[in-house]
Homo-oligomer: A and B are copies of this chain.
């Protein structure tokens, strides 16, 4: 050991323990706080949905196809803010695993229509049952009214095509 010091053992360093850092500037930085919040939600997601093999990306893909059967990959990509080639790679895996199927549009034979298979519908149905408890766990520090406010503010912040709920 070294000479006696005023901070308790377990702190990182006498001069700059983590708990004594000045973080006020970052706490007032919305972009930084949004990043931390998103990391929290994604880490929690992997824990909660790991058993189903769902990732945040595949969860969102399943939900959009479920609610919009026949949606083309291009719409799905722009909606989820994924580049089309990156989405295609995921769709290839989901199709070869039997969760979705592709078919060619009769009206425009370039276009692809995406559908859930029964297997895919089953997975997202099971995932949907985990969604509420998961969201409640992540949002636990906020009251129900505050949770609604947060969601509303996020919706208003984003330039969505369709109007928010």
Contact = CB atoms under 8 A, between A and B. Distances in A.
A139 B45 CA distance: 27
B13 A151 contact: no
Contacts of A17: 75
A125 interface: no
Contacts of A142: 153, 156-157
- Counting every copy of the chain, the complex holds 2
A15 interface: yes
Interface residues of A, number: 74
Which secondary structure characterizes the binding site on chain A?
A: helix
Contacts of A63: 25-26, 29
B139 A23 contact: no
A102 B25 CA distance: 23
Contact of A45 (B31, B38, B42): B31
Interface in A39-91: 39-42, 45, 56, 60, 63-64, 67-68, 70-72, 74-75, 78-79, 81
| Closest CB pairs A-B (n = 7) | A31-B41, A33-B154, A22-B67, A34-B38, A150-B153, A18-B75, A16-B71
